[in-house]
Amino acid sequence: MHQQTAQSKQAQQDDTQPDTASQASEPTGETVISVDGLQKQYGTGEDAVRAVDDISFEIPRGTIVGLLGPNGAGKTSTIKSMLGLVVPDAGTVSICGVDVDGDSARAHSHVGAMLEGDRNVYWRLTVRENLEYFAGLGGERASDVRERHDELLERLGLLDWADTPVNELSKGMKQKVSLASTLARDVDVIFLDEPTLGLDVEASQELHAELRRLAEQDDVTIVLTSHNLDIIEAVSDRVIILNDGSVIADDDTAALVDLFETQSYRFVVEGRPAADLQSRLTTAFDVTCQPDGDQTVIECVDADSETVYALMEQFSDAGLELADVESVEPDLEEVFLRVIDDQRPGGEQ
């Protein structure tokens, strides 16, 4: 059902045609979220903080986007503006073609959001009652959604606890109930802030799989923020990096990581290189040296094979025993740190 427009979706509900939500489909490329020239400033005069500074992007249906940035970059302000929880000073946001400022109720009928983890849900209600409550907010009746809720609870490993009050569940399970409640209505877009907080490794992986399934099979569009870049790298199709209220990178996750693909090498030598050798290596080869117990880890970014052999010769001449050498693959964490670093005064830009 998610691959349809808001209008055709409504028509389908009116015609009581069969639910096609579980059928796999290709993303249609239709723009579901459009943010254009968004600006938000808090305070005035000397105390003014420009939290969002002319941000624009479009997100097609069925895409998972990781929104990243250091503390204070403007992620929350951007998301809250998209959800109508903060009124922007300028710019427009539309969701499924509906202007959030013009008709927020209709725009938000397409959206589910999990912004505060397990505080999203009612702890005295059972798991199922929570789901029914949140589906009810979207005008869906409990009897109509029971089967879909059972499937959702099954996939999240919560079915056996459907009739248990939330306050009797572990922190990780409460987090999953919160996600299930976000999905209790049939929405086109979900915003998730730190969705794996408090989840163990297994539960996090179940959540990754569920997010990919939602995007690939149900064509749900997902905007995700997390300080855990492993999750973002594992599930996001695309990454938008914010800094100081502006978009500083916006690309497919794989392309962004590939962009930073360099022939980096990590050498591990026994003992410590003498100070004069360390400064020679740093000047000539731009390496970093880090002590690690009885060994020293020497990293060289952008090394060609000639550099690798020249470095090994230097180690050998200095009588340093080479314990290990490996090429280093960048991950999203490294890409993120380098993109942010390039923005700092004196960075590459």
Ligand X SMILES: Nc1ncnc2c1ncn2[C@@H]1O[C@H](COP(=O)(O)OP(=O)(O)OP(=O)(O)O)[C@@H](O)[C@H]1O
Where along the sequence are the contacts to ligand X (CB under 6 A)? 42-43, 49, 51, 69, 71-77
Smallest gap from Cβ 114 to ligand X, in A, equals 15
Spatial separation of the C-alpha atoms in residues 261 and 303, rounded to whole Å: 12
Please identify, using beta-carbon distances, which residue of 49 and 274 lies nearer to ligand X.
49
Please identify, using beta-carbon distances, which residue of 53 and 299 lies nearer to ligand X.
53
| Pairing between β-strand 189-193 and β-strand 221-225 as defined by DSSP bridges | parallel
Strand order in the sheet with 98-99: 49-60, 31-42, 90-95, 98-99
Please identify, using beta-carbon distances, which residue of 180 and 340 lies nearer to ligand X.
340
Please identify, using beta-carbon distances, which residue of 42 and 309 lies nearer to ligand X.
42
H or E element, residue 38: strand 31-42
Closest CA to 2 of 222, 217, 235: 217
Per-residue buried b or exposed e for 260-270, using 16+ beta carbons within 10 Å of the residue's own CB = beeebbbbebe
Smallest gap from Cβ 196 to ligand X, in A, equals 16
Smallest gap from Cβ 86 to ligand X, in A, equals 8
Phi first, then psi: give them for residue 294, nearest 5 degrees.
-85, 0
Hey, is 279 helix, strand or coil? helix
One-letter amino acid for residue 136 of the chain:
G
Smallest gap from Cβ 339 to ligand X, in A, equals 15
Please identify, using beta-carbon distances, which residue of 119 and 141 lies nearer to ligand X.
119
